Amino acid sequence: MRLNDFDDYPFHQVPTPFNVVGTSDVHFNDGYWFATFAAGWYVAAGLRLHPNTNVMDCFAGVAHDGEQQVVRASRVLRPRYTDLEVGPLRVDIVRPMERVRIALSGAPIDLGLELELTARDPALLEAPYAHRKFGHLINDLVRYTQVCAASGSLTWRGKRVAVEGWDAIRDHSWGVRSTMGPRTPHSGVDLDESEEDRRRFRIWVPFGTDAYAGFFHTHEGERGDTLDFEGHLSYPDGSRVRLVAVRHALEYHPGTRYVVGGTFSLLEEAGTWREYRLEPAGTPADVQGFGYYGGWHDGGSAGVWRGAGPHVEHDSYAVGPELGRTGPPRVDPKRRLGPTEFPSFVTGPDGERGMAHFEHHVMGRYRPYGFD
């Protein structure tokens, strides 16, 4: 075990240095997701630490004009544990919970970033999520989400694009997450009913309008039954309105799970429903391209050891509703998820306009929209 600069602070939670976490589970990880978007553009980046596989990895990519381009990188975590840089991507926390910088340079694709994300509202700490399978704790994590504004610039295919006042979001999650790290079996013969994962439909939506910022997320079961929900609206004067429910009427490209519009309504704690209209704002992105769910060239996910590094790889592929479940070329088409991150324009009940980061998954059968 080695010390690092963070160990000078009196905030330890277990009797080890900060670079040794309180569990030996190889699926423990800690890291960030960042995204900024404007009409026609969706840009995302992320960085994550995996202490028990000794890995730090990252991604950065753009979805634009019917194409997704992405670069992924991985390196050994220790001893540079506190240096948030992997290959071409660097993250700097300028002011905790308020400002963060993201830089991408020297990538093997024609994409560069110089971005600063500034918080529009206080971060929302989402409810913890824990899940056991055959008695084994396979998910145990927490996340906070924050609506931001982005400034800076990006370069793409030799063109410089100014980023001024673009909508943006960030999240920070940590804990045990079964889909990250090396694949491990979770087998048995007697699955307890309480251990069944009934989630079939997910929407996770940070959004900002010209009047306020908002966030909500939900999971539903096969028949549309609500399994969880939380959210809020956050106003410039510092006030917050808690949200307690959502109704939705999404529109999909025929024969796909590709969102092309629709409405959602949010119920305020005081009993008022607020209806919002969604319109597509550009090319959506899929998380497999960013390295989730087996999206790396070796078929693995984030957190897998790929050498001392930096190991750097990239992909570029077409995205569009007529193409169905697009994804990284090396992922078997039968295993592709298709787009999951939909940049969208949003119009509120009082005519307020803005943009939403509409993350959406349909996992298996979901009867309200006829998905088998």
pLDDT tens digits, one per residue of 118-138: 999 999 999 999 999 999 999
Mean pLDDT of all residues belonging to the chain: 96
Residue 200 gets the label, from left (phi > 0), alpha (psi -120 to 50) or beta, of alpha
Rounded to the nearest angstrom, the gap between the alpha carbon of residue 79 and the centroid of all alpha carbons in its chain is 27
Higher pLDDT, 355 or 187: 355
Half-sphere exposure at residue 145, Cβ-oriented, CA atoms within 13 angstroms: 23
227 CB-near residues (< 8 Å, 6+ apart): 198, 199, 218, 219, 220, 221
User: What type of residue sits at position 350?
Assistant: D
For residue 185, CA distances in Å to 121, 134, 153, 179, 182 come to: 40, 11, 44, 12, 10
Residue the block writes with tokens 């609506």: 147
**pLDDT confidence tier of residue 90, bands split at 50, 70 and 90:** very high
**Banded model confidence at residue 139, pLDDT cuts 50, 70, 90:** very high
* Phi, psi dihedral angles at 339 (to 5 degrees): -60, 140
Cβ neighbours of 96 (radius 10 Å): 7
Q: What is the mean pLDDT of residues 139-161?
A: 96
In tens, the pLDDT along 176-223 reads 999 999 999 888 888 888 889 999 999 999 999 999 999 999 999 999
pLDDT in tens, 247-256: 999 999 999 9
Q: Would you state the pLDDT for residue 12?
A: 94
The letter for the amino acid at 47 is: L
Q: Which residues contact 246 (CB under 8 A, 6 or more apart)?
A: 203, 216, 218, 229, 231, 264, 265, 266, 267
In which band, very low, low, confident or very high, does the pLDDT at 275 lie, cut at 50, 70 and 90?
very high
pLDDT in tens, 35-60: 999 999 999 999 999 999 999 999 99
Identify the three-state secondary structure at position 188: coil
Peptide bond into 206 cis (omega under 30): no
Cα–Cα separations (whole angstroms), residue 206 to 11, 13, 123, 230, 371: 30, 30, 11, 12, 25
Q: What is the rounded CA–CA span in Å between residue 238 and residue 337?
A: 38
Report, as an integer, the average pLDDT of 84-97. Answer: 98
Cα 22 → chain centroid:
25
Tell me the C-alpha distance between 1 and 20, whole Å: 7
pLDDT digits (tens, 9 = 90+) for 331-346: 999 999 999 999 999 9
Q: Does residue 324 have a pLDDT over 90? A: no
Place of tokens 């979805």: 63
Contact by Cβ (8 Å): 104, 45: yes
Q: Are 158 and 281 in contact (CB under 8 A)?
A: no
Q: Which amino acid is at 45?
A: A
Per-residue model confidence (pLDDT) at position 266 = 98
DSSP of 86-126, one letter per residue?
Answer: ETTEEEEEEETTTEEEEEE-S-SSSEEEEEEEEESSPPEEP
